[in-house]
Copies of this chain bind each other. A is one copy, B any other.
Amino acid sequence: MNADPHPWASDLAGLYAQVWTRLARGVRDRRAAARHPTLATVSPTGMPQARTVVLRAADSVSGNLDIHTDIHSTKVKELRATPLAALHVWDGTAHLQLRLDASVTILTGTDVAEIWAQVPETSRIAYGSRPAPGQPVADALAYAKHPDPACFAVLRFHVLAMDVLHLGRAHRRARFSRHDSWAGQWLAP
């Protein structure tokens, strides 16, 4: 029998540390699983919604994550009505599912000027679509992209709790909460 490829999964502190290792890798490495979480929100009519986003920042000290979006996107409307979200990552390399519960702050304007200044020119085209993202258009390509800092928003996720599942020789699942300082609790998978 080979050595356990994921020894960190056997104790709560190791599992928790691995979550932030994976998230940090997602920010840095375009090919890491955590680069592209699925963001779940609730629409104003109560409909769950989910879409792929790009992870732009992860800070284990504050427990905050950032993504960037067009301020006119539907997810911003949803988060204005209900500023709660889940972020989901399945990391096949680590055999690890991350489910993060978060409250969300929408940052714009001067609050994000420094971040906008660091967005590469080629990426700015994602912020400033006419019509706005999700609006009906007469033809598939009847839209234009005009980079506009006034359209740029940072969604800052303040992680409240995490449900972490490791699918190893045995399956392990734990919940970590901000309110108990991330000590962790094993759950039946």
Contact across chains for A189 and B47 when beta carbons are under 8 A apart: no
Interface string of A37-66 (1 = CB under 8 A from B): 010111000111111100000000000000
* Most-contacted residue by chain B among A48, A51, A163 (CB, 10 A): A48
Q: Which residues of B contact A42 (CB under 8 A)?
A: 42, 46, 48
- A81-89, A116-124, A148-156 - interface stretch: A81-89
**A82–B45 alpha-carbon span in the complex (Å):** 12
Q: How many copies does the complex hold?
A: 2
Contacts of A51 on B, CB cut-off 8 Å?
88, 97, 99, 163
Query: Which residues of B have CB within 8 Å of A137?
Result: 186-188
A-B contact pairs, 7 of them (CB 8 A): A38-B88, A48-B48, A49-B99, A51-B99, A139-B186, A142-B188, A143-B188
Q: List the 10 closest A-B pairs by CB distance, nearest first.
A: A50-B88, A40-B40, A40-B50, A40-B48, A143-B188, A48-B86, A140-B172, A50-B86, A38-B38, A131-B188
Interface residue ranges, A against B (CB under 8 Å):
10, 36, 38, 40-42, 46-52, 82, 84-88, 90, 97, 99, 101, 129-143, 163, 170, 172-174, 185-189
